Structure 1
Amino acid sequence: MDISTWLTVKRDDNEIVGYLEPLDAAYDKVRPRSVLGHPVVDACDYMDGEELLLERGIGELADHWTLHAEDHRGQVPLAILEVSANGIVVADALLTKALAPTERIIVPWPDVESRLIPCRGA
């Protein structure tokens, strides 16, 4: 997926809260994407998309996640440690909280394949 056309949406403090993926050349219709690269809604106009991302914020980074069921680590609650162009670094949420050594898993950023899914019951 070509992400070179995605527009970064930042809060007043310069924190990135998401991206707008253009769905047409004039950017009249966009697909808002979270900081992880997940679609937030299918399509909306530019101003609505920007406002949606600003209101939504980055709270999802504090949530627990799991890897898609096809992955052998599918049901382990994961904490997001880092999000950058180099990838989304996650690790076992309980071991991380206990400051215990644990394997770091890198999911490519943006996660357009939705390998990371919200952890149920966490």
Structure 2
Amino acid sequence: MIPESWFPALRPDDGETVGYLDLVGEEFQPYDLLGRPCGDPADYTDAEDRLSALGLAYLARRWTFAVEDHPEPIAVVISEVSRESVVVRSDDPGYHRDFGTPFTLPLPVDRSVLWENPEGKGPRFTQAVPGR
């Protein structure tokens, strides 16, 4: 779960939560919605601007997930994010379970379990599966 001491950073134009800020001394540490630090602490405006510039597009990318029941990490897409967890769904033809199999991970995300796939442009299979 994202710590209660972290407060939401809102995008100015629509009020959408784009990350979190944590007071560290006299500066603010920005974190994305997965609880990953976004650079070094900064003054409030700079930290909030950094998260606004980051936006939410990274959530639509393909990710890599080290799933316990498969020898190799698999491709996944993010389907839900809350303050408590992130739900990813399988999006890998080499995985032995159904496309869209959900996995719920606690936040902040452990980078050794879930990481961005720099070659993944976006979901391939789960968008084509009705009701997933």
Name the TM tier (shorter chain).
0.7 to 0.9
- State the one-letter code of the partner of 1:41: G
Q: Please list the CA deviations of residues 88-107 of structure 1 after superposition, one character each: whole Å capped at 9, or x if unmatched.
A: 00011257xxxx65321011
How many residue pairs get matched?
Answer: 113
| Structure 1 CA distance for aligned equivalents of residues 84 and 27 of structure 2 | 28
| Structure 1 CA distance for aligned equivalents of residues 6 and 19 of structure 2 | 10
Q: Which residue does 2:17 correspond to in 1?
A: 16
Q: Please list the CA deviations of residues 22-42 of structure 1 after superposition, one character each: whole Å capped at 9, or x if unmatched.
A: 112xxx212110011111113
| Structure 1 CA distance for aligned equivalents of residues 46 and 19 of structure 2 | 13
For the aligned residue pairs, the C-alpha RMSD in angstroms reads 2.4
Deviation of 1:85 after TM superposition, in Å, equals: 2.8
What TM-score do you get using the length of structure 2 for normalisation? Answer: 0.73
Query: Is residue 83 from structure 1 mapped to residue 84 from structure 2 by the alignment?
Result: no
What TM-score do you get using the length of structure 1 for normalisation? Answer: 0.78
Map 1:20-31; keep pairs closer than 5 Å. 20-24=21-25, 28-31=26-29
**Unaligned stretches of 5+ in structure 2?**
121-132
CA contact (8 A) 2:21 2:29 kept: yes
Q: Which residue does 2:54 correspond to in 1?
A: 56
| Structure 2 CA distance for aligned equivalents of residues 33 and 82 of structure 1 | 17
When residues 64 and 3 of structure 1 are mapped into structure 2, their CA distance, relative to the original with a 3 A threshold, is: same
What percent identity do the matched residue pairs reach?
30
Q: Please list the CA deviations of residues 2-48 of structure 1 after superposition, one character each: whole Å capped at 9, or x if unmatched.
A: 71211211123221100111112xxx212110011111113222211
